[in-house]
Amino acid sequence: MTKEQIQTFSQLQAEPAWLTERRLNAFEQIDQLELPVIERVKFHRWNLGDGTISENGAVSTVPDFTALGDNPKLVQVGSQTLLEQLPANLAEQGVVFTDFASALEVIPHILEQYLGAAIAFDEHKLAAYNAAYFNASAVLYVPDNVEIDQPVEGIFYQDSTSSVPFNKRVLIIAGKNSKLNYLERFESLGDGAVETSANIAVEVIALAGSQIKFAAIDRLGKHLSTYMSRRGNLGQDATIDWALGLMNEGNLVADFDSDLKGNGSHANLKVVALSSGRQVQGVDTRVTNYGHNSVGHILQHGVILERGTLTFNGIGHIIRGAKGADAQQESRVLMLSDKARSDANPILLIDENEVTAGHAASIGQVDPEDMYYLMSRGLDLATAERLVIRGFLGSVITEIPVKEVREELIAVIEEKLAKR
């Protein structure tokens, strides 16, 4: 790929000069930057991007829309938008939920200001790659003081029959004192199994006093090698409650980060993951406290089946000057196979004295006595294992604030276990 090809792609998309310039600046940095560090995960030989920038062609499989409700919704397959649904009352209040090109026609200055505000293009090689090569995009903008009662859904499909890399950029901007529930799904669509890569960057800008409940259920296919970054930038007294379910089939490395920039900002990160087959998943979950009295809590539970590998790195960093900050984390992994591999690594970096911090981590197998008790009551091995898994993950799932997300995540876990 050359600079000229990126410039041509940007011009064909009618992107403004500032966006073309950012793409080109990111492109020039790719070779100079290092890969992100995901402790104890060897992913350096994975295909996480082949330097291709193009749109997807015609959609080979169309998802079923019959069961979708009337809440705000955006459905995309690759780079193609199939459905936009935004109630008139929200549009009248200035809410925008659409693809990037359409959003540029409505809020161009806001996009120029906030794109890259949470994930800098020169942070590492994969961040620069996404900034240069993203070919699919979505924008959710909620103006100051607007509260959205219904859940806002972003449903993003990767076409399993397409060889085009799935390079996705999602930008969410919550204005001052706004309030919303956002549900995000990344899922592979169709019966194809074309080997390719995914590089997904989700930026969440939570301005002062905003409240965001962010839930995600990821179900990308076995044929994808994926890098995923979800990053929140929180202003004064802003709150993000993250609830992330990693139910992918393919290899994954991920960064789930919250930068608590404002005084009194608050982030809760809840992560549930399941690895099976020979799948490798490495997850960095980080909270960085910058503001006074900022609070960041991490709770993550994972289950490993067969020869799967799962690594949780929980990172709490309290920056000098963040007086009264609180950073807590808990990472626990349950292994249901002697051939499974796991790490749960708590990392605390404390640069300030007047703070509170703590961590807990554990890795273990199912208690044989628990299995014996369940099977002595007439349950077969598979059913007993499912109950144990449900109980182990349930301690995180019950903390998810949206009932519909809890129920859907339980259903996805049951479906994934039934495939064994």
Largest CA-CA distance found in the chain, in angstroms, rounded: 69
Residue 178 structure tokens: 């706004």
Say whether pLDDT at 395 is over 80: no
| Residue 416: band (very low, low, confident or very high) from pLDDT cuts 50, 70, 90 | confident
pLDDT digits (tens, 9 = 90+) for 362-382: 999 888 888 889 999 999 988
pLDDT tens digits along 247-300: 999 999 999 999 999 999 999 999 999 999 999 999 999 999 999 999 999 999
Q: Are 139 and 98 in contact (CB under 8 A)?
A: yes
Tell me 34's DSSP state: P
Tell me: the pLDDT tens digits for 137-160? 999 999 999 999 999 999 999 999
Task: State residue 54's pLDDT score.
Answer: 66
% of the chain exceeding 70 in pLDDT: 95
Averaged pLDDT of the chain: 92
DSSP letter at 147?
A: B
Residues 103-112: what's their mean pLDDT? 97
What is the Cα–Cα distance from 18 to 245, expressed in whole angstroms? 35
The alpha carbon of 350 is separated from its chain's Cα centroid by a whole number of angstroms, namely 26
Cβ neighbors of 315 (< 8 A, separation 6 or more) are 284, 285, 286, 287, 329, 347, 349
Q: What is the pLDDT of residue 68?
A: 65
Q: Please tell me which of 10-14, 192-196, 346-350 the model is most confident about, judged by mean pLDDT.
A: 346-350
Number of other CB atoms surrounding residue 77 within 10 Å: 24
